Structure 1
Amino acid sequence: MILLTASTFSFSQETSEEFESTLKNLIIEAPSTYAEIDGYLRAYRKDTSLMKLVVEESKKFNYWESQIYALNQMGRVYRDISQYPKALELFQDALKLSIETENLEFRVYSLNMISVVYRRTDAIKSALDYSQEALELAETIPFENRSTGLKRSINVSLNSIGNIYQLLEQYDLAIEKFNESMKLENELNNKLGLAINHQNVGECYEAQEKLDLALESFQKSLAFNTEINSEKGKIICNYSIAHVYVHLNKMEEALKLLNSSLKRAKNLGDQEIIATVYINLGWAYLNVGDYNLAESNLNEGLKIATEYNFPSEIAEANKFLSELWMKKDDFKRAMNFYKESKKYEEQVTNNLNLRYVNDMIVRYEAEKQSDQLKSLEEEVKNQAITLRKNKTMLLITFIGLALVAGILYILYRQYQLSSEKKLLTLEQTMLRSQMNPHFLFNSLNSIKLYIINNEKKNAVHYLNKFSKLVRKILEASSQREIPLAEELETVELYMNIENIRFSNEIIFKINVEDDIDVHNVKIPSLILQPFLENALWHGLSSKEGEKNITLDVMKGVEGFINIAITDDGVGRDAAEKIKERKVLKRKSVGIDITKERLANFSKDYQNSFHVEIIDIYDNENKASGTKIMLHIPTI
């Protein structure tokens, strides 16, 4: 007490006497948990100048916990205004100090904060690593011994993992994690946590086009944010609700909310939110036909997103600007913006998928190599003990040879790994030029989930199927025509891979008439996959319950074989209505290209190909599926 009284506190003139008194009392009492320190400093935690004073004064008394608290709070302030490098530096300083002082609660808190920064900058692998480390570390403490701060950190970890699933478009898994987090937040009566989780659930429902559920979740989040008076939370909820209103064509309500949100976002200073609101405003004005306001808002959003390097927002702004210039009949400018949008979409895709999967594979191989090295070291130790006991030259020679062989083996394996990695990079470059990028994105996402969930057998199983499919596609793409047997094997592999995305709900059957030799029938390579893809994503994706696709090969009239692809989906009319509701209307060009290839193929035969599209109806005259009938010439 005498030492504390004699100490000279270097507060600025603007610092209130109330804060000075609070800080003195904090250092005297020296609580060690987050909740206790937050009870003293919560009112001042968003003021970086005051938090710096906390760090400086706490250092004088070796009071580490308040230093860690203040470093984390400063990091949160910089993170919320999109100054991510500065925020990351502060969080890492807090983490280092918490490790040195062996404070598990603050260590978990700092790990979660670092994960959030990495997630917001699309460094998904690092974000997942830090969240999982935080969760595993927190769960080492028995439930009855966990502090309130540690319980909240567990919820933050669950929420972060849910956010990562959301980025990977695995929305059902994300909702599951968010609901798990909400259950725990309810027990803690943490309204901020409940607000955040309801917001995230709403975003997942919106992505699934469940607009009523999305609107309900956003409104729940807004109610919690209003109750705790979180300005940032209220802004995010309002522009999310406006986004749903645009989908529902409630343009007046959407524009009112977005314009109000823009003013409040500018006062808040979070550049990512400001850019997002500008882009949504531009999109809304584009929908009502006010092209001047649409262009100015989209350009402003694009400027901010470019300045602060927000790839997803850059891609979205360019996408809407491309639509704008299409409506203005300036196709050259529309194409330029479209190319920019695709460039940034590819950048985000690479960050979230290919690079992540490669890193996981390389890391898995490195861990295997490390285990081998540890095993070898253990073997050498055991042999050294035997050598000292026996003291024979024979064992010395044997161990020497074993060490040399082990080193040569390690060097050989390293060379193999390096060669395999180079080959993988080349294969990915070739694959991107041959395969549909959406299918590649979805397949890698599904395989990656098995790796994340440590389902090694499933991961290896589907990686083998995927690699075999890629090999067959690459081989077939270099040939003008192939045996029907090879084409059927390729599409069966394709359907197995796609079925992962549909939770194995697809029942796919291939039926071939007995008198047809599929090894002797020649057809153009890779012609069936576009029709199957169309059946999956337009006919079956919107259907609930069991989904069936049948591929029948049969003899037609003389000189033809017939291939029928039948699905029990929603039918063409319903599929078209669902497509019209979507914001991004992607036109399928695969079937048109296939028709052109079939036309070119049939020039060498007496007969011409023919494609029939047949709508299927049930006894009540309701659409119950679609049949595609291909008549392919053989003479």
Structure 2
Amino acid sequence: MQVIRNIIAVVFVVLSALPVVAQHPPTKKIDSLTRLLPATQGIRRISCLNALSEAYWWLPRVVPDSISRWADLAYQESLKFQDTPGQATAIMHLGVGEVCRKNLLASKIYLHKALGMFEGLHNDKGLGWCNLWLGKVLYSENEFDNSLEYFKRSLDYLHRLNDWEGEGVAWGWMGFLYAAMGEYDSSFKYCNKSLAIRQEMSDHLCVAAALTNMGHLFRVAGDNEDALDYFQQGLQYANTHSINVHKTNWNYLDEPMGIVYRLMNKPDSSLFYLKRALQIDPENQMTQVSLGETFLQKKQFDLALEIFLKPIEHFRRENDKWDLMRVLLDVGKAYEGKDENNIALHYALEGSAIAQSANEKQSMMAGYQLLSDIYKKLNRNDSAYIFLQKYTALKDSLMNKQFLWRLRNYKVQADYEQKLKRIALLDKDNKIKKEELANAAMIKWILAVGLLALVFVGFIVYRNLSLKKRNVLLRSKQLEQSLLMQQLEAETKQASLQQKTTELEMQLLRAQINPHFIFNSLNSINRFILQNEKRQASEYLTKFSRLVRMILQHSQNSLISLESELDALRLYIELEALRFNYHFSYKISLQEELDISMLKMPPLIIQPYVENAIWHGLMHKEEHGHLYIEVCQESNQLFLKISDDGVGRSTVPESRYQSSATHKSMGLQITAERIALLQHFHPSDSSVIINDLVQDDGKAAGTEVVIKLPFIYD
């Protein structure tokens, strides 16, 4: 049961990583992984822990603490089991948790370490996602060019893996990056790619999010009306596909809608959506900053400053230049609104400098305008005029860019809307046709059911009449069948018991012969050691270990292939030849028609007779001896002939023969009983014949043993 649970766990983890149809929210996946976790061990447990950590990356709500918690457990387990791929994945997840907390410096340490490990492992999935998250970190540090390189590098790996989830994220983030750089055509192109992938995946939650991303693009491009339209499309799509954004704690629509209403100079509507967003995610620092910007618009400067000043040191420490730039300019505006212009100037200069170093034109324009207003209030008109000129020039350039992009995009949007209308009309026609077909099918179905009902009633009447007549006959047949079944069950049980008894006897005999052979072999090894013949002892031990391994492998099988039996026999003869200092040679002859790999026989059938030929025939011969083994088929029987040119049975010294009588009788008797038991499974004329060979002058010329076995194929 434990093995089955482990297999299920691994299969689930592997399937959960496949980029097919994404399912959000991942609540079911998290619950399943949590239930499977106690049943996993080792590397499978590490994979399960990493999968749990990754599950908290996704919408509707990212949970950094859960990401880090499961990743840390996976990291500790990977150190224990020396699982390098699992360790690299856990380190990457620890970095992701820090990204979500906006601890950029710590996240870069984790992600760079994981990236190096993935490069060593040639792990494309790890390289794709690690480069993607590093690109996100560099984007937050206003390193736009470097961020773009990492995004492109990640897409190479993710596209090769057909990882749609990763590609959708990468295209979306690249769209944001190009928007920040003022490249609206590229931004629109990549945001559209992200939306298309989400639609192809039927990932409804992320389709709604991608529509929101499109709204962000239009907002950055200065088109607040279209931005709001996309946000509302995202909300409508979520509602159409049964995604309750508030019940699922999805903080992805309220905040952007609050920002757009502020840009449209509707602060009350902005406050409504931003406060609702904070009810969903009260700890979201950037949602709080958006709320502060609305307070700023309502000239509630102290409330705004209380929000803006809180995260500044954290952003500085973590080198989060993107968020720091935004908050510094907000603080400058708040102090300028309170007429504390010297303090406002300090923050405005720092925020504007960060924007200029990143060439982030929206923030640069806001910074120039703010500096011009502050210098004017400080009666530094020259400086005010310089920044006013910069603001005007940049604003004209940016507005021209935005206008041209909206002009180019207008036709695309119009075509897209026409396409949606055509699709809607086609859907309406298809629905009408489906309803007509459904009505026609319903009428046919009613007629068919009515006809079947009439046939069924007639059948029931006929059946009842027939059953009354046949009732007595059926009862008698049932009784007869019951008795027959009981008899068959008894016979089956008896046959099963007989087969089990026979198999147990076979196993007992195999267990007797293996210790007998091992005892003789160990005596031979001991003799070499006592005679200080190290090379022969080493060679003998090597071959002996191979032979013992083969015997152990065959010990659980009632039948093995003839090929395996002959392999073991060769090892045994070579051991005996080594022990007798190659006093004899041997030859095994096989009939060409035999398929020794498919032909089956009991294990260690030939060995006792070969041992007898060596010990009682060839060992007592003064000259070099010969051992012949012939395997052939005759009349659907397998013949095994073992012959030697030793001294023969009649010339063995009486004392020597009697001293080994116990040894010989044990091996040959056991083998004879095994051949006899084989008849229980394969009835045949199995037998063993021993012939004394003589020369023409009547002298002993050796011994021949003929074994007949049934012909058994696999």
Q: State the structure with more CA Rg.
A: 2
* TM-score normalised over the length of structure 2: 0.44
